[in-house]
Chain A
């Protein structure tokens, strides 16, 4: 069965500093990988996704992520964090469930706090 691990429950960074959020997955086949962001009381917004091809993917809001098959990782990065990036970030793996259906399995999330 597939699983996603986000080792860091809470990360605090200063505004302007770089950011890396870690994600490790377990999935038997080629993974479909996603990063979502959730602001308090809101739904999930898709930041970026990886299906195949270039292992470095660019997303919205200046985020990027790198797929490393050998490490089963899909870490999210941003070179300079803004105060508005404070939110909770979820890594997810999309797996095929049969009958044309895919489902997302999420990590527990990493809460990002930004110090002005």
Chain B
């Protein structure tokens, strides 16, 4: 059974640009959550999608958005990148029927 797949693994972007990250959950899982990990703030919840609907959202600005497709794959978009957006972005996959999730390897985003 394949795990959670995130692409790309590494990204370098310039301030002001936008970026899209992708996550394919474990087969059969309908929930995808996104987390941002930085040395200063640690792991912070961004949002959760379940059956193509955003079900929960963390305390991040509107520049951070996402969507989920009918096959449960999810994308996260960050517009007008700032230096502070440099982080490891982790995708978590679950059935969506309870707490806990399986994480992908993450996408390391560097904003220069």
Contacts and interface: CB of A to CB of B under 8 A. Distances in A.
A109 B42 contact: yes
A93 B99 CA distance: 9
Contacts of A45: 103
Contacts of A44: 90, 103
Interface residues of A, number: 29
A43 B4 CA distance: 10
B25 interface: no
Interface in B22-63: 33, 35, 42-43, 45, 48, 50, 55-56, 58
Interface in B62-112: 90, 92, 96-106, 108
B56 A97 contact: yes
Given A46-B102, A49-B100, A104 B90 contact: no
A92 B33 CA distance: 15
Interface string A13-48: 000000000000000000010101000011111100
Contacts of B50: 100-101
Given A46-B100, A102-B98, A108 B42 contact: yes
Interface of A: 32, 34, 36, 41-46, 49, 51, 90, 92, 94-109
Given A32-B99, A102-B100, A103-B45, 10 more contacts: A43-B6, A43-B103, A43-B104, A51-B99, A92-B43, A100-B97, A103-B56, A103-B58, A104-B43, A104-B45
